[in-house]
Each structure stands twice: as structure tokens, then as C-alpha cells.
Amino acid sequence: MNGEFDLFVIGAGMAGTTAANKCASKGWRVGIVDALPYGGTCALRGCDPKKILRRGAEVIDAAHLMRGKGITENGLSIDWSALMRHKRGFTDAVPQGMEDELIGNGVTTFHGSARFTGPNQLEIDGTEHRAKRFLIATGASPRPLSFPGHEYLIDSTDFLDLDALPHRIVFVGGGFISFEFAHIAARAGVDCVIIDHGDRPLREFDPDLVASLVTRTEQTGIRVQLGTSVVGVTRTATGLDVTVDQGGKTSTIGADLVVHGAGRIAKLDGLHLDAAHIAAGPRGVTVTEQLQSTTNPAVYAAGDSADTPGRPLTPVAVFEGKVAASNMLAASTTPVGTSTTPDYTAVPTTVFTIPELNRVGILESEARDSGLDIDVRLTDTSGWYSNYRVGETTASAKIIIDRASDRILGAHLLGPGYAELINIFGLAIKLGLTSRQLKSMTATYPSIGADLGSML
């Protein structure tokens, strides 16, 4: 048994490292552990590597859109292994860099799988550690699938580390992972199929814009098969057969690779939460608004492994890590300091397809269901100068405005470069700006930001 820590953090991703660094900077004795190299999902197996691989696809697509407009593709192609090297040029340095930063801030780092052995105690590979408080920041993992042959599927981590791409990939599930990966793989010449059991994919996004994205996706050569469930996957002499059911009709899709894009759940397996009386549900550790466990006051949770109103996104993991740290610090002072709660207002989210699909604030349907009197400004922006310039054929904006106050309630954007534009709408919603106030912004010209005023 080692000496007691003020805080022990399980998981060295964005939520865990943010909290560990903050508490260590206040003089706390902090321990942190990860079963995998330090850095977490975003930097090593998610956002960052994905967007590096997407860059290759962007170049191909940009040249393709400029065909006949002065650009000849002349055998332009993705050299996947070189692109993968470019990705590793970033990811390989992350674990040591992150660990060095933690150590530099006075945090004690451990490697291995942690599991609770008591309310104030955990074990890492046979060694027990005691702490006054714990932060569970263990992230998420792919949702278990039950159809026969599910063991043949690879997950997003495997996809982002493939040394070579095969000819045919089937993506199971119509969420952001399948769409983003299919958009990358298709530009590298892979024959891609996305299967989704629902009648529309990307359900958290605006349905009108999703419909346009599906059309653009299909124009790229990706097949999107909706209302289709996977019955099973079998190995054949040449690859894999994915048997699917569409409206009672069974058929088979041949593939070389089948990728799990059917959702992620909080990763709590193996933590032995019962040993520390920590309640959890399918969405993660059950916490109060202050991110404290409802059943063990010594435990907090943040990021993808906490059951909070926040989406499983990096910025959310970061600010939840900050809030958990600040509440633990406040609770330890005499008199007890003021606690805070995460502010989930106007967190933007993007599907990094080409072009990208973005959302911030509420959907049109949510506004109508709440009985709000709204003005919906839906504009096809594909003919606008900024899209004409790059040859993009699919782009639109839908802005939801409260009629009474003129405040912006939601913004939904599909178009090249709009992942930057959505941040401005996020700020406008957070600050409660009216559409008139936002329209008064002067943007540099000709930039995509200059389109914002005309979207309102």
C-alpha cells in the first residue's frame, strides 16, 4: 500500500488530465492511471488522427470539385501508408508529452488497469492505493453488438491505425464515425457502404441538412442503406459476408472489412464500482449537477464516462474535468467553497464529412415541440460566391430564431469551412445575441465568415 493521495484520477484522457493538472497546481498530492498510453481517445484514437487522415480526403475532393475549372487530377491519389505516417508523426509523441506535463506539474503517474477495492481504495495490477477522492474519467468504448459474427468487426481505433485500406468496407451504424470514415476511405478509392437500421442517419442533426449530406455522400460513391439491420457476418474464402435485412428481405453485402460505427457507451467495465458503492447506468456514473457520485461523496466523474447532459465530445470532457476539479477543491476548504456546475449552453458539434455538417443549439423540431414561436431561415448556399469558388455543389444553412426576442436559438450548417462558422453562432447563442446584433458583425472579405450575415 502506498501513501494516501488527495485525489486519484482514473483515465488520462482530456477530462482526467485536465482535472489532475488543476488539482496538482493547488498543491494536492495527485495520482493518475491509464491502462493505455497517455493521451486518451481524442488525441490518439479520435478527433486528431481522424482529422489528419481527412486532410488527404479533402485534397482529393478539392481537386475533384475543380475538375474542368483549371485543375487536372492526373493520377492524384492518397498514399495511405504515407498519410498514416503523417498521422503517427503527431500521435506518437502524445503519450510521452502528456505524461511529462503531468509529472512536471507534480502528478504521480501509473500505468495499468484500475479497479476499486473499497470506498477509498483502488488496485492497479496488484498494488493498492488509497485516496481521499477519486475522479472517474474512463471515457467510452464501442457498444457491444450481439449479432452472429460481431467478432469480425473492427472498431474506430483499429480503423485509424490501418496500415493499408482494402477494396470494400461496410460500416455498421449511421452515426458520425461511419460517415466520417466512409468519407475518408471513399476518397482513397474504397468501395464503401453505410448500413443504418433507422429511416435517417445522424439523428442528432437537422434532417433537411442530413438529407442533402446523404445525397452528396452517395455522389461520392458511398452507398447509404437505410432501414437495414445486420443479421450476421460470416467469413468467406475472399473476405466477409454481411447479411442484412431490409424490410423483411434478406441480402448479402461482400466486404473485406466491417467497421463498428454503431455507437459508444461509457467504459466502466472492470472498475468494480460496487466495491466503492458507486451507482452507474448505461450512460455512465450517476452524478449530481456538480459531477459528484450520488452514492459515494468521495467520487466524482467527468467526460464520456459520466452520466451528464453533455454530449460525448472533447470540449465537454475538458470543461467537465475543470468543474469536477474546482468542486473537489472547493469542498476541501474550511469553510466549504462555492461549487459550480458545467454550462452546456451552445456546445457546437461537427460531423467531419466533406463538406462538414454542424449543429449548435436546438433543432427546429425541438423548438416546435417546446411551443416556441420561431422563424426558420433555411438557405441553399451552394450558389454563393464562397462555394462557387471551390466548386462545392452542396451547402445550406438553417438558422432558428425566436420571433419574440429575435435571439438565435439554433444554427445548422452544411458546407465547406462551416465548422469554423458554427463557432460564431455558438458564441452568439451563449451571449444571447439577437439576429440583428449578429448581422451587424463586419467580417473580413472574401472569407466564409462574410457569408454569416446573409444566412440570417
Ligand X SMILES: Cc1cc2nc3c(=O)[nH]c(=O)nc-3n(C[C@H](O)[C@H](O)[C@H](O)COP(=O)(O)OP(=O)(O)OC[C@H]3O[C@@H](n4cnc5c(N)ncnc54)[C@H](O)[C@@H]3O)c2cc1C
With respect to ligand X, which residue has the nearer C-beta, 184 or 456? Answer: 184
What cell was used for 90? Answer: 503527431
Least separation in angstroms between residue 179's CB and ligand X is: 11
Place of cell 455498421: 172
Least separation in angstroms between residue 374's CB and ligand X is: 27
Kindly give the residue spans of alpha helices, DSSP state H, lying in 165-267.
Answer: 176-187, 207-219
Least separation in angstroms between residue 316's CB and ligand X is: 7
Measured distance CA(260)–CA(263) in Å, rounded: 8
- β-bridge pairing 30-34 and 5-10: parallel
With respect to ligand X, which residue has the nearer C-beta, 131 or 455? Answer: 131
Least separation in angstroms between residue 44's CB and ligand X is: 8
With respect to ligand X, which residue has the nearer C-beta, 184 or 195? Answer: 184
Count CB neighbours of 46 within 10 A. 22
With respect to ligand X, which residue has the nearer C-beta, 139 or 410? Answer: 139
With respect to ligand X, which residue has the nearer C-beta, 87 or 407? Answer: 87
Least separation in angstroms between residue 373's CB and ligand X is: 32
Q: Hey, what's the torsion of the CAs at 101, 318, 119, 272, to 10 degrees?
A: -100
Contacts of 383 (CB under 8 A, 6+ apart): none
Least separation in angstroms between residue 273's CB and ligand X is: 10
Contacts of 312 (CB under 8 A, 6+ apart): 140, 264, 303, 304
> Which residue from 308, 259, 12 is spatially nearest to 135, judged by alpha carbons?
12
With respect to ligand X, which residue has the nearer C-beta, 142 or 149? Answer: 142
Answer positive or negative: Cα dihedral of 36, 37, 43, 45: negative
| Contacting residues toward ligand X, per CB under 6 A | 10-16, 33-36, 40-42, 46-47, 50, 113-114, 137-139, 156, 177, 267, 270-271, 303-305, 312-315, 317, 352
With respect to ligand X, which residue has the nearer C-beta, 47 or 378? Answer: 47
With respect to ligand X, which residue has the nearer C-beta, 42 or 363? Answer: 42
Count CB neighbours of 183 within 10 A. 26
Q: Which long-range contacts (CB under 8 A, 24 or more apart) does 421-428 make?
A: 421/358, 421/448, 421/449, 421/451, 421/452, 422/348, 422/350, 422/358, 422/359, 422/360, 423/348, 424/449, 424/452, 425/348, 425/360, 425/361, 425/399, 425/452, 426/346, 426/347, 426/348, 426/360, 426/361, 427/346
Least separation in angstroms between residue 158's CB and ligand X is: 11
Class of residue 98 by CB neighbours under 10 A (exposed 0-12, middle 13-18, buried 19+): buried
Least separation in angstroms between residue 133's CB and ligand X is: 17
With respect to ligand X, which residue has the nearer C-beta, 53 or 424? Answer: 53
DSSP E strand stretches across 12-101: 30-34
Least separation in angstroms between residue 428's CB and ligand X is: 20
With respect to ligand X, which residue has the nearer C-beta, 121 or 437? Answer: 121
Least separation in angstroms between residue 16's CB and ligand X is: 6
Measured distance CA(447)–CA(371) in Å, rounded: 36
